[in-house]
Amino acid sequence: EDQVTQSPEALRLQEGESSSLNCSYTVSGLRGLFWYRQDPGKGPDFLFTLYSAGEEKEKERLKATLTKKESFLHITAPKPEDAATYRCAVRPSGRLKLSFGAGTTVTVRA
Amino acid sequence: DAMVIQNPRYQVTQFGKPVTLSCSQTLNHNVMYWYQQKSSQAPKLLFHYYDKDFNNEADTPDNFQSRRPNTSFCFLDIRSPGLGDAAMYLCATSRDRRGDGTHEQYFGPGTRLTVT
């Protein structure tokens, strides 16, 4: 059975304090690992897709990396507007269903 | 801008009174999904349409049904809402081949359902 575990559950950062979020996964035949940002009361916003170990994607202050067992979302010099819940999800081979992690809620103090 | 639109954003219904939530998309994606999300939990897939083919998740209650009259629209019908059905309902779309889900899903803003 597919498993996705995100850590930590919550992350409190000072503005400018860089950090990383972890997404560990067990899946039969990874077809893609996806990162989303979700603000309270809204739907998830797509951030990145990673397909193979060693792949990296960047967008503004966010950088996502992938190994064979986990993915990291690095937040560089966060600003208060980076506060959100970040969710990773995996898609196994042969299925369209996403398996989501529980998410990491990031707060950023100015 | 191409997007996923959900209406209404907030819906209040009475216990047992049928309710329909709607989703439309301008992305021209072939797959549409309905998720249920409670409080801060991960979204839970209810079902999806691959083109016109309906795919139900094994643990989706019979109380939930869906219709997709054309590529752009999809509806979620809750036949007899209970208090436990109060949640955020999210519609999503993707451009995928059957059994080969490599593309990202794009989510709408959600409909917050309250059951009184």
Q: Is the pLDDT of residue B101 over 70?
A: no
Judged on CB neighbours under 10 Å (0-12, 13-18, 19+), B105 is buried
CB-based contact A43 B107, cutoff 8 Å:
yes
Name the pLDDT band for B96 (thresholds 50, 70, 90). Answer: confident
pLDDT at res. A29: 87
Q: Please tell me the predicted confidence (pLDDT) of residue B94.
A: 94
Task: Tell me if A96 and B110 make a contact (CB, 8 A cut-off).
Answer: no
> Could you tell me the two tokens for B29?
């994606």
Q: How confident is the model at residue B99 (pLDDT cuts 50, 70, 90)?
A: low
DSSP B68-95: --SSSEEEEEESS--GGG-EEEEEEEE-
Per the prediction, chain B carries an average pLDDT of 94
Q: Lowest-confidence range among A50-54, B1-5, B7-11? A: B1-5
Which residue in B25, B105, B106, B114 has the most chain A C-beta atoms within 10 A of its own C-beta, making it the best mutation to test that interface? B105
Q: Which of A41, A46, A96 sits opposite B101 (nearest CB)?
A: A96
Give the closest of B57, B100, B109 to A31, CB-based.
B100
How much is the pLDDT for B2? 67
pLDDT, residue B57, reads: 94
* Mean pLDDT, rounded, of chain A: 95
Q: Does A12 touch chain B (CB under 8 A)?
A: no
Q: Using alpha carbons only, give the angle A2, B65, B98 rounded to the nearest 5 degrees.
A: 45
Per-residue confidence at A96, pLDDT binned at 50, 70, 90? confident
Q: What is the pLDDT of residues B13-66, one digit of tens each?
A: 999 999 999 999 999 999 999 999 999 899 999 999 999 999 999 999 999 999
- pLDDT, one tens digit per residue, over A22-66 is 999 999 888 899 999 999 999 999 999 999 999 999 999 999 999
Concatenated DSSP letters of chain A: --EEEEE-SEEEEETT--EEEEEEEE-SSEEEEEEEEE-TTSPPEEEEEE-STT-EEEETTEEEEE-SSEEEEEE-S--GGG-EEEEEEEEETT----EE---EEEEEE-
Tell me the residue type at A70. Answer: E
Query: Which of chain B's residues have a Cβ under 8 Å away from the Cβ of A85?
Result: 40
Instruction: Please list, in sequence order, all residues whose beta carbon lies within 8 angstroms of the beta carbon of residue B66, skipping any fewer than 6 positions away.
Output: B34, B46, B47, B49, B54, B74, B75, B76, B77
Backbone region of residue A96 per phi and psi (left: phi > 0; alpha: psi in -120 to 50; beta: other values): alpha
Closest CA of chain A from B75, distance in Å: 17
- pLDDT of A1 above 90: no
Q: Which two tokens stand for residue A61?
A: 């202050």
Task: Kindly list the residues from chain A whose CB atom is less than 8 angstroms away from the CB atom of residue B109.
Answer: 42-43
Q: What is the CA radius of gyration of chain B?
A: 13
Question: In chain A, what percentage of residues exceed pLDDT 90?
Answer: 87
Strand-pair category, B87-94 with B106-107: antiparallel
